[in-house]
Chain A
């Protein structure tokens, strides 16, 4: 396998994008990545499109073929990849393997989702369709509901409190407010979501013990990267960012079949594989994008990837270790919590954010100083399919 680098990255602002359909968003993000790589009028060998729900949400199938046509990339190979909220990570992995194998030299990976075409309760149902059809879905379980059940156990076992969850929400919305690509633009205050008695309306329970501000928004958005072999990467104008390692692991479909339902084994395994391949350890990482679809997940994942011991993630958060300027800044982009979570786009967007960090091209208020190595975790289902990437700043 030959080393692979990211030579172009692009995103469009996440949020409600009423004027754009899915194909528009995929095209815009792809063009941004192509331009970033300096490939404005050139082609690629293959296109991987991450998307979870075009069939259900937008009544459109075969979006990869449609995208090739929009971008006039024919005769590039193309396919869509659906792997739930981990579709983005999966598409990058497939693109990576295709280049690493030596088969393709230039690959476009783009992830996108148009979720706001449907009402909130339809979107909730769409996401819930990932759960087990007869053992879970029929009960009205939602992904926030799964996270609520997980949170209750995690609190009991590790002493995580509501206050810890609030700290994640405030931290990530604080950073999101600085990110022009973020869905949620406003900061939140402790007074507004906890202290004031008005918070009962501002921050009502969504899936007890999780409240409104513990949950990521439903977003439209797209993000893209261009992959190339590292030895070709030097021909591109931007500093190449090497995909030093990746990992992917699965776990049982139903939470109740896990020996310890608070143990996110797939996260641990995916991160371990990524570190091993990159010949790095958690302490080598300077910046991380974790899958905080729910505030509890940022804390749990920060432990499962090895930044902190099990049960010590909340303490690290309290001590400011995970904030911008801390020991290991997590979700400097605002995370899913603030950037938003267009499910198919997320895994790609996380990598784009790390690419920008490692190229040192972000504004001062969000740039982690001298960041060389970054980590992402893209969490599918409720942890039954997880991808992780370790990225490293390459030599210009």
Chain B
């Protein structure tokens, strides 16, 4: 089931700086007023790592986690669907999805999952 991507970024009303995650004051001008901005379009891979030795709560051997930039400039971390680092290239386009990324205290936690295109 496809789900809507629920993260939202914050654009400073005064200087236009885009923030994710939330800050109570703008990183640049310290203003406190923000417009909410939904990430748009696909995302470009900025960096990633294939992580082994995962923390408590994961039973898989590894996970790919990376940071990507959406078409409207929102940058966010997410899991990446991949099996080997060779499948990924910095700068490549990823399709964002919203899916279960972790189970914490028996509850599903949703987050960004990127799929290489």
| Chain A residues within 8 Å of B, Cβ to Cβ | 119-122, 124-125, 128, 132, 134-136, 138-142, 144-153, 156, 204-210, 252-257, 261
Contact = CB atoms under 8 A, between A and B. Distances in A.
Interface residue range, chain B? 35 or more
B117 interface: no
A167 to B, nearest CB: 21
B19 A145 contact: no
Contacts of B49: 144-149, 151-152, 207-210
B9 to A, nearest CB: 10
A142 B62 CA distance: 12
A149 B66 contact: yes
**Nearest 10 Cβ contacts at the A-B interface:** A148-B49, A125-B55, A208-B50, A135-B21, A145-B51, A256-B75, A124-B55, A125-B56, A149-B47, A256-B67
Interface of B, secondary structure class, is: strand
9 contacts: A139-B77, A141-B51, A142-B51, A142-B53, A207-B52, A252-B27, A254-B21, A256-B75, A261-B67
Given A205-B52, A206-B53, A208-B85, A153 B47 contact: yes
B92 interface: no
Given A149-B47, A149-B67, A254-B21, A140 B54 contact: yes
Contacts of B90: 152-153, 156
B57 interface: yes
B93 interface: no
B77 A256 contact: yes
Nearest to A122: B56
Given A138-B102, A138-B111, A139-B77, A121 B54 contact: yes
B63 interface: yes
Contacts of A141: 51, 65, 77
A132 B101 contact: no
Interface string B69-80: 000000111110
A149 B79 contact: no
Given A145-B49, A205-B50, A139 B78 contact: yes
Contacts of A120: 53
Contact of A140 (B20, B21, B58, B75): B58
Nearest to A141: B65
Nearest to A128: B55
Interface in B33-50: 46-50
Contact of B47 (A121, A125, A253, A261): A261
B15 interface: no
Interface string B92-117: 00000000011010000101100000
Given A125-B55, A139-B111, A144-B49, 9 more contacts: A120-B53, A124-B56, A139-B102, A140-B58, A207-B49, A208-B49, A208-B85, A256-B76, A257-B27
